[in-house]
């Protein structure tokens, strides 16, 4: 066996030591990166006055679209004579939601633990996205006034004894959705049974329905961010049969806690349903069909978003996301899932307990009128098959098109895509009823009225003006471009922090500065799997690995030197009495005017970065 020459032995020893050192750095860097990232997210996602997330939480800038399809009954007379209902879908009619949180009040703690606000939604018609004007055309649907009055207690029915009732109405889509004045509703209002004289699916929803919330800010435990503590002044409901069913669980949906995993479950309180629901992570998904960018690139985008505060639509983000969906057990019949017996309405409105797939909404209506309204997934997805089988014209349900889905970035809780899909139905039966309107109808039916989807797509992209001529955006298809931009941005941010270092800041600034440089090192040396693969291939080839080792060690040495200079500079500044003049001398000494990386000039692509000392936490607050 040939002996290894002395120079080669030296190279092999040096290479082995360097690799061990690099491996240690990689392992430490991985833990430090995860810790720093989690710490950063915890600080940035709390809903606090003046925070980066607060303004967008109060008045969201991301568009949410409400698209509604109406069920048009094509054979009303046949139905009243015992024939099968036949439907056609009309729509979509699309509205842009303007979600507002007003009268915001924080609790007295520092930082505040809770925030109180009033929530309301305004809807603005989008003709370019709709099938046509919502004030044109005629749709035949169930007369909800008749349905409501037919379910009044006997002593209230006396008021309407002499009136004539219709089983169906034919109105424009706008009237069916947003309401129309009805003489029977006027009588109902004057008798103080009803709280409006308008009849419609969403007659009281367009900016007039106000919900009062108290939620957790997440300042003390980021896992509780957005958790509903009070709704309309109460901490629990009184609509259902048990304390379990009346519990208010989960968030209001405006924010979701970070640090999600495949085993995670998210709870939501849904005021329109007067109850809480939960969604489970079901699988990993991508927001688009391409998956060329890995999750760390999304880390980069989110980190830059929080550091810089800039954002825009990102049409080419490809990253692994968690897909959350509601569990079917929540809408199973009480005989299948006994827990759901608690959600059977106290007052009879339709069947005592609904069949599988149907969720009663009658408790959410006027307490004097238990209107038999039920929600389900569009086209009766997941509902008892016999319900859809009793009708014609309703397409076969599709899991992909009719289910409610959330695509969430797990590390931050950002909802990047959401599709909430719900169908509204009214229960009618031929029991004689008021003026025997339905006496010859076959029934009973869960009569479909409309189905809608609320969808939102949120993309974030760090794109400074520098990239107008240098398109190395994180949205680029080049992974090298992603890492270059991220690393350059992190290093520049670190320089910005160092340049604006003030005497009033604490040692946390040094930690943040060091963290930025570690992220810079981590992105280059650890995250690049291709580079690590190449290094592993050269382990038995000392001559080829030497340049890589020297380059890596040199980079680490440079970073260590910068950190050392930062520490020395800090001590140097603390020994001077005239802080203002010394700060100016130190800045001009460490950051010469001809340095293009850290010196802020008019041409700098990172002019929008400013760092201000936070008086509350003695750390740096990026704005």
Q: Is 598 exposed, middle or buried (0-12, 13-18, 19+ CB in 10 A)?
A: middle
Of 477, 456, 458, 531, the residue nearest 302 (C-alpha): 458
Total number of residues shown for the chain: 623
Say how far apart CA 353 and CA 240 lie, in whole Å: 12
Backbone angles phi, psi at 303, to 5 degrees: -60, -45
Say how far apart CA 283 and CA 105 lie, in whole Å: 38
Backbone angles phi, psi at 605, to 5 degrees: -75, -5
Of 324, 339, 484, 347, the residue nearest 416 (C-alpha): 324
Q: How far is CA 402 from the centre of its chain?
A: 19
Say how far apart CA 382 and CA 218 lie, in whole Å: 36
Tens digits of per-residue pLDDT, 500-552?
Answer: 443 334 444 444 455 555 555 544 444 444 444 544 454 445 555 555 555 55
Query: 194 CB contacts (<8 Å, ≥6 apart)?
Result: 185, 188, 366, 369
What are the structure tokens assigned to 24, written together? 């240690």
Query: 299 CB contacts (<8 Å, ≥6 apart)?
Result: 37, 411
pLDDT at 267: 92
Say how far apart CA 269 and CA 17 lie, in whole Å: 56
pLDDT at 597: 34
Query: 185 CB contacts (<8 Å, ≥6 apart)?
Result: 145, 194, 196, 197, 198, 199
Q: Is this prediction's pTM over 0.85? A: no
Of 114, 121, 116, the residue nearest 96 (C-alpha): 121
Q: What is the DSSP letter of 446?
A: E
Say how far apart CA 268 and CA 278 lie, in whole Å: 6
> In Å, what is the CA distance from 116 to each residue of 34, 247, 596?
32, 19, 47
Backbone dihedral region for residue 380 (phi beyond 0: left; psi -120 to 50: alpha; all else: beta)? left
**E strand or H helix at 621, and its extent?**
strand 620-622
Low-confidence ranges of the chain (pLDDT < 50): 288-318, 460-512, 522-532, 534-536, 538-540, 577-623
Taking the CA atoms of the chain, what radius of gyration do you get in angstroms? 31
**E strand or H helix at 453, and its extent?**
strand 445-457
Torsion over CA of 465, 471, 472 and 478, rounded to 10 degrees? 160
pLDDT at 461: 36
Say how far apart CA 174 and CA 180 lie, in whole Å: 9
pLDDT at 19: 66
Tally of CA atoms within 13 A in the half-sphere of 8 that contains its CB: 8
Mean of pLDDT over the chain: 72
Say how far apart CA 420 and CA 407 lie, in whole Å: 12
Q: Domain segments of the chain: what residues?
A: 6-45+463-622, 52-457
Q: Is 109 exposed, middle or buried (0-12, 13-18, 19+ CB in 10 A)?
A: exposed
DSSP code per residue over 250-289: SB-SS---S---TT-EEEEEEGGGTEEEEEEEEEEEESSS
Handedness of CA 348, 204, 417, 257 (dihedral sign): negative
């Amino acid at each position: 066996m040939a002996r290894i020459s002395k120079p080669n032995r030296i190279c092999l020893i040096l290479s082995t030591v360097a690799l061990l050192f690099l491996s240690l750095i990689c392992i430490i860097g991985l833990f430090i990166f995860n810790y720093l990232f989690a710490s950063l997210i915890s600080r940035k996602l709390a809903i606090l006055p003046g925070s980066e997330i607060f303004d967008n939480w109060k008045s969201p800038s991301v568009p949410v679209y409400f698209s509604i399809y109406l069920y048009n009954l094509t054979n009303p007379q046949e139905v009243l004579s015992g024939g099968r209902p036949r439907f056609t879908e009309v729509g979509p009619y699309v509205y842009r939601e303007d979600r507002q949180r007003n009268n915001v009040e924080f609790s007295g703690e520092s930082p505040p633990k809770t925030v109180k606000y009033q929530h309301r939604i305004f809807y603005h018609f989008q003709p370019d996205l709709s099938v046509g004007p919502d004030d044109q055309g005629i749709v035949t649907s169930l007369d909800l006034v008749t349905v409501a009055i037919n379910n009044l207690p006997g002593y209230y029915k006396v008021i309407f004894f002499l009136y004539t009732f219709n089983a169906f109405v034919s109105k424009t889509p706008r009237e069916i959705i947003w309401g129309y004045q009805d003489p029977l509703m006027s009588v109902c209002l004057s008798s103080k049974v009803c709280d409006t004289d308008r009849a419609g699916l969403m007659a009281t929803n367009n900016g007039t329905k106000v919900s009062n919330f108290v939620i957790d800010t997440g300042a003390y435990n980021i896992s509780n961010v957005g958790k509903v503590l009070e709704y309309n002044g109460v901490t629990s409901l009184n609509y259902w049969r048990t304390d379990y069913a009346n519990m208010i669980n989960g968030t209001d949906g405006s924010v979701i806690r970070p640090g999600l995993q495949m085993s995670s479950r998210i709870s939501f309180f849904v005021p329109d349903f007067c109850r809480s629901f939960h969604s489970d992570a079901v699988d990993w998904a991508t927001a688009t069909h391409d998956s060329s960018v890995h999750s760390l690139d999304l880390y980069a985008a989110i980190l830059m978003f929080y550091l810089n505060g800039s954002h825009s639509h990102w049409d080419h983000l490809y990253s692994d996301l968690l897909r959350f969906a509601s569990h079917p057990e929540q809408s199973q019949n009480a005989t299948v899932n006994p827990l759901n017996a608690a959600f059977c309405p106290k007052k009879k409105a339709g069947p005592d307990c609904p069949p599988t797939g149907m969720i009663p909404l009658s408790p959410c209506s006027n307490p004097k009128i238990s209107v038999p309204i039920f929600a389900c997934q569009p086209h009766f997805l997941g509902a008892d098959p016999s319900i859809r089988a009793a009708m014609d014209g309703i397409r076969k349900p599709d899991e992909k098109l009719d289910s409610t889905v959330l695509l969430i970035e797990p590390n931050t809780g950002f909802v990047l895509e959401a599709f909430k899909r719900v169908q509204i139905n009214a229960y009618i039966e031929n029991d004689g009823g008021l003026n025997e309107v339905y006496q010859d109808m076959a029934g009973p039916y869960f009569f479909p009225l409309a189905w809608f989807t609320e969808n939102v797509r949120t993309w974030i992209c760090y794109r400074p003006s520098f990239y107008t001529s240098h398109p190395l955006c994180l949205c680029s298809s080049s992974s090298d471009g992603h890492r270059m931009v991220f690393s350059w941005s992190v290093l520049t941010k670190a320089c910005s922090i160092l340049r604006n270092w003030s005497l009033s800041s604490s040692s946390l600034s040094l930690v943040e500065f060091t963290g930025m440089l570690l992220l810079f090192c981590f992105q280059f040396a650890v995250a690049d799997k291709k580079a690590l693969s190449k290094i592993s291939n050269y382990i038995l080839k000392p001559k080829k690995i030497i340049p890589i080792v020297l380059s890596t060690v040199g980079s680490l040495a440079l970073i260590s030197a910068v950190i050392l200079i930062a520490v020395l500079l800090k001590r140097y500044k603390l020994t001077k009495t005239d802080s203002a003049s010394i700060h100016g001398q130190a800045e001009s000494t460490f950051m010469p005017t001809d340095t293009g990386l850290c010196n802020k000039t008019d041409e700098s692509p990172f002019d929008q970065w400013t760092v201000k000392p936070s008086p509350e936490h003695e750390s740096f607050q990026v704005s």
